[in-house]
Structure 1
Amino acid sequence: MQLSPSYLQIAATAGTLIMALLTIFIRLKASKRPVTVKKIIMPPVGMTTGFFMFIVPAVRIPWLWGIAAFAVGWLLFSYPLIRSTKFEVTEGQVFAQRSRSFIVVLLGLLAVRMLLHEFIEQYVSVPQTGALFFLLAYGMILRWRLFMWKHYQTILKGSAPVK
């Protein structure tokens, strides 16, 4: 038995919404605990396992598409996350500041992603669409987390004020 593409689309949309809400919830809880290098680098490291999806032939996309998707995530989608991420030092420990703008940014990125998903899916298969959006998200998260790591290191060295 094979599921129709419309059921896959509904499941993917529901899954995306659930993941977005979980991300917001986890981010709000994380702001109560100090930031560490491990907490900064583990999301992109864990996400790297997603590259195994390209073993499946139906998921494969042309290299140029993959590079473009990664670049859009790196250059465009990461920027609002970088701008809305701020650290504060409390009692000698570094914390991520709670930010309403961060939640707005996440919800805005989700809305843009959903609109792009509908458009792109008209031209490529559902698995290939998933691959493109994985690469976009990976580029976005990798740049954001590299920024966080660099800023965290600067704060630890005490050479820059917390923004």
Structure 2
Amino acid sequence: MKMLYIASSVFAILMGIGVIVVRMKASKKPTSIKKIILPPVFMSTGAVMFLIPEFRVSSMELLEAVTVGMLFSILLIKTSNFEIRDKDIYLKRSKAFPIILISLLIIRIIGKGMLSDSIDVGELSGMFFILAFSMIVPWRIAMYIKYQKLSREIVN
């Protein structure tokens, strides 16, 4: 069980580093609605895990995961802004974004360590999927709204 916690934590750290690298590269190219909307769509396929009973969560666990995910999304929304360059819309680089992402990752790993003794690993996996999805959806909706606002400025 301890090995699974360590392996999943290492994987989460590598994914976090990957997100930071992708985000830094993304600021060098114009963004699009497709680039904003597709990540949560692709992530939603992970909900198939709930077909397996071991991953299902209680109503209270669902509420907790959604609440924490939405709270975490506020930090991501605050650090995700766009700018117009050469009639294209670019994601602005934020010095705070990597720090916030790493902090959220650390909080998530600590929380997982604390909860892994009292919640079954399958349920905990389900909760963290819900947390991540509840974080990415509001963040991407906010990005979409900001993008649309800037795209109307380009047209005018």
TM interval, short-chain normalised: over 0.9
- Deviation at 1:64? 2.8
- Deviation at 1:32? 0.7
Give the corresponding residue for 1:120: 115
1:135 aligned to 112, 117, 130, which one?
130
Q: Percent identity among equivalent residues? A: 35
C-alpha distance in 2 between matches for 1:39 and 1:132: 26
Secondary structure of 2:72's counterpart equals helix
Which moved further from structure 2: 142-151 or 128-137?
A: 128-137
C-alpha distance in 2 between matches for 1:37 and 1:68: 30
Structure 1 residue identity aligned to 2:25: K
Secondary structure of 1:98's counterpart equals coil
- Deviation at 1:133? 0.8
Count of paired positions: 154
Structure 1 residue identity aligned to 2:31: V
Structure 1 residue identity aligned to 2:121: V
Answer yes or no: is 1:148 the counterpart of 2:143: yes
CA RMSD of aligned residues (A): 1.2
Task: Provide TM-score, normalisation by structure 1.
Answer: 0.91
Structure 2 residue identity aligned to 1:47: M
Structure 1 residue identity aligned to 2:152: K
Give the corresponding residue for 1:99: 94
C-alpha distance in 2 between matches for 1:137 and 1:97: 23
- Deviation at 1:141? 0.4
Structure 2 unaligned spans of 5+: none
The ranges of structure 1 where at least 4 consecutive aligned residues each deviate by more than 2 angstroms after the TM superposition are: none
